[in-house]
Amino acid sequence: MKTILLLIITLVFFPSFLKAETEEMRPATDANIFGHILDETTGEHIPFINILVEGTRIGTITDATGHYKLTNLPVGELVLIVAGMGFETTRQAVTVEARRTIQVDISVASLPIPLDEIVFTASPTASGFNYQPNKVFIGEKLQRRGEASFGEMLDGEPGVAMRSLGSAPSRPVIRGLDGDRILVLQNGERLGDISETSADHSITLDPLAASRIEVVRGPASLLYGSSALGGVINLMTTDIPDDVTPGTSGVFSLQGATMNEMGAGFGRITLATDQWASSARFSYRQSGNIMTPTGVLPGTSMTNFDGAVGFGFNRENSLGGISASLTGQTFGLPVALDEPGKQKEIQIQRQALHGRWAIRGEGFFDRSLIRFNAARMHQDEVETETEAGITETKIPLNFTKYTFSGTTILQHKPTGIFDRGALGMNVYAHHKEVGGVEAFTPGERRLALGFFTFQEIPLTHTLRLQGGIRFDLQHTSAIASELFPQADQSRNAINFSGSVGINYRPFPGWEAGAQFARSHRNPTITELFANGPHMGAGKFEIGDLNLRDEIGQGGDLFIRYNRNGIQAEVAAFVNHFQNFIIFSPTGTVDAASGFPVFRYAGDEARLYGGEANFNWNVAAGLNIGLGADFVRGQRIGNGRENLPFMPPIRYRTSVEYDFGRAWLGASLSVASTQNFVAPEETVTQGHTLLGATAGYRINAAGRHVIILRADNLLNTRYLDHLSRIENRNLLMPGRNFNISYRWFF
């Protein structure tokens, strides 16, 4: 069956290679060549790579074992050409005699793929083949997006919007999906915070600490959990210095902004020898309240500090290390808008221990990776109220969470029809305590054990398939408390997720990918048990104990072109959910708290949309960019109502000229009016924002970089549809000038 499949593929995709020698009217010689094509570095056999006889139309491709055979060749001196994507074209001279068969093994060198082009988050083998759209931010590209939070940094990226309640708690939203339908990771493991649970909770890592950000739009459930149908954002740091150049290196950075009088500083230093390294980093950030075109938005100030120390080693066959980090955050919530004299702020402390160990071996499983993150987080929601000159401070709500997330991945060598693949196991556990008189949910314990495999099948050197499955055994239990005495309940589930994808690279510069995936998400304790006012979010939340598991099926397609100064991508998706858990307004107000009532309910739902992005290097240094994205979400079980909190259609255009030492640019962002709103949800008017950027590289190597950026230059009054501030007359930030300096040494 395998032989038949290879024959069909060869006939379809490479007819020019299979022209018979008789078409050239030459006599049979019975001269043959056979052999293997080998990777020069690893010695592995290379499947499905082209072999051509120079000056003729004779050729073939290697089979799944890297073996080839050329028959009935002309006699004399011939040159064999080996060519394939990811490998250097190689020529091998041979002498062919009539009625003789000779063996010729040819070694070819693999071409290095720049690390900024590989999205490690999307594949455990880092093969460089994509099955869903993704993006990497590193170096200067990352510095240009410097903001106070990751939600603000990534807002406006194709398919990525921002859930906001001020700067600090803003969180990315991918294709209209939020919460734990998308995962925000640190170095491939869960952070251990509670940012996915509510709009008033933040990501507990300062943006200055990230040296690389990877954004995967679309299904990425296999590696990180069964629920991530929307995508993954991986915040990568260099806290474990296991792959550095010997010597002393580091970075020092300063950042400031006018809109909220923000100032931030960051420093990292690494000391390394040939086999070991140690590093330390520290950042501090402080800002005041956000300034809007009509005044101050109270309760939006913040103070952050973030530090880590790490140790790494790099031996001949292994590398890894360990790091410890400490994060502290204090930020306000805009509750004083509705309750003058009252202030509420969030105070967070998180301690974490990270570890990583990668090993190279000689057996079938020749590479392995072990990583973990253990974290403790404590969060107090502090309320201060002043009445008749008397100030009272209390902590009506607090959270303590202990988290462990660990993953083991075993990579195997190519075998049979399979390229390099992986088997893996993931352990995730957390214990979350909820205390205080305003606790609106019970605590939670969760333990999940996941097993997954990821495999790629190269059908030709331009076409390959990807497939994988994941099984999770999950136990979730509520922790009974004085406020929730009946919450001593538990759920056990076996979750199944999987994906099938295709990658096709028909011509140089062209790439297309498609993927279909299934996700399985269990209801959270909040969705099941919530019953009370959530003061920080300004809502009265009601859960539903009858909610069933959320099952999603997602389809994703992208086409990408990158050649001759043009970079273009078009992507489309559709996600269909059974028992989609919807958090939506009921249109009523709780009399005691005065908060609008929101309810969790399950229904069948569908989300669909797409993104388009185009960049053109018109001439040396001149670049023009265009982009657009949209998402639409609807219930399809009980009526055709729109889903809440769906971002509007957005358009972007930019122009930039890079002089080498400096650059100048301008951008225009347009959001359309969001008319497709859920019942009791407010329509948000469209808006247009003008921005500008300039930068200077102090020396030719770019070791010192200064960046100036202006946001909302016209001080436009606008609302963001994903803002969680209930008073819809409140505006988003006004004109802002941002300056940052970074020194690499």
Q: How many CB atoms within 10 Å of residue 470?
A: 25
SS (H, E, C) 233-281: EEEECCCCCCCCCCEEEEEEEEEEECCCCEEEEEEEEEEECCCEEEEEE
CA within 13 Å, CB half, 441: 26
Tell me the C-alpha distance between 364 and 416, whole Å. 12
Q: Which residues contact 714 (CB under 8 A, 6 or more apart)?
A: 689, 690, 735
Strands 106-108 and 32-39: parallel
CB 634 within 8 A of CB 595: no
pLDDT score for 657: 96
Cα separations in angstroms, 665 against 623, 689, 695: 9, 14, 9
Backbone angles phi, psi at 678, to 5 degrees: -75, 160
CB 333 within 8 A of CB 301: no
- Residue that is written with structure tokens 């120390």 in the block: 309
Helix (H, G, I), strand (E, B) or coil at 678: coil
Tell me the C-alpha distance between 328 and 305, whole Å. 5
Q: Which residues contact 390 (CB under 8 A, 6 or more apart)?
A: none
Instruction: Give the DSSP H/E element, type plus range, for residue 12.
Output: helix 2-13
Query: pTM for the complete prediction?
Result: 0.86
CB 166 within 8 A of CB 254: no
pLDDT score for 728: 55
pLDDT score for 729: 64
Q: Burial code of 37-52, b = ≥16 C-beta within 10 A, e = fewer?
A: bbbeeeebbbbbbbbb
CB 609 within 8 A of CB 176: yes
Strands 390-412 and 59-61: unpaired
Q: Show the CA angle centred on residue 720, arms to residues 714 and 722, nearest 5°.
A: 160
Q: Burial code of 78-111, b = ≥16 C-beta within 10 A, e = fewer?
A: bebbbbbbbbeebebebebeeeeeeebebebeee
Backbone angles phi, psi at 661, to 5 degrees: -85, -25
Q: Which two tokens stand for residue 9?
A: 């593929």
Helix (H, G, I), strand (E, B) or coil at 506: coil
Q: Which two tokens stand for residue 369?
A: 């990776």
Query: Which amino acid, 17?
Result: F
Helix (H, G, I), strand (E, B) or coil at 24: helix
Q: Which residues contact 47 (CB under 8 A, 6 or more apart)?
A: 62, 63, 64, 65, 66, 414, 419, 458
Cα separations in angstroms, 406 against 192, 212, 259, 430, 677: 12, 21, 40, 12, 40
DSSP 435-453: ESTT--S-EEEEEEEEEEE
Strands 622-635 and 596-619: antiparallel
- Residue that is written with structure tokens 């974290």 in the block: 375
Would you give the DSSP letter of residue 499? E
Domains and CATH numbers, the chain: 2-108 (2.60.40.10), 115-744 (2.40.170.20)
- Residue that is written with structure tokens 């005065």 in the block: 594
Q: Show the CA angle centred on residue 382, arms to residues 381 and 387, nearest 5°.
A: 140
CB 699 within 8 A of CB 306: no
Tell me the C-alpha distance between 745 and 740, whole Å. 17
Tell me the C-alpha distance between 401 and 429, whole Å. 10
Residue 43 CA from chain centroid, whole number: 33
pLDDT score for 12: 37
pLDDT score for 549: 93
- Residue that is written with structure tokens 């221990």 in the block: 353
Backbone angles phi, psi at 124, to 5 degrees: -75, -15
Q: Which two tokens stand for residue 599?
A: 């309810």
- Name the β-bridge partners of 510: 561
pLDDT score for 381: 92
Q: Which two tokens stand for residue 619?
A: 């001439």
Tell me the C-alpha distance between 552 and 77, whole Å. 60
Tell me the C-alpha distance between 543 and 531, whole Å. 6
Q: How many CB atoms within 10 Å of residue 641?
A: 19
Sign of CA dihedral 121, 122, 123, 129: negative
Q: Which two tokens stand for residue 316?
A: 């001949």
Q: Burial code of 493-515, b = ≥16 C-beta within 10 A, e = fewer?
A: bebebbbebbbbbeeeeebbbbb
| Closest by CA position to 722, among listed 650, 640, 667 | 650
Tell me the C-alpha distance between 333 and 342, whole Å. 10
Tell me the C-alpha distance between 536 and 162, whole Å. 18
Intervals of the chain under pLDDT 50? 1-26
| Closest by CA position to 536, among listed 396, 645, 400 | 396
CB 312 within 8 A of CB 241: yes
Instruction: Give the DSSP H/E element, type plus range, for residue 582.
Output: strand 566-589
CB 49 within 8 A of CB 119: no
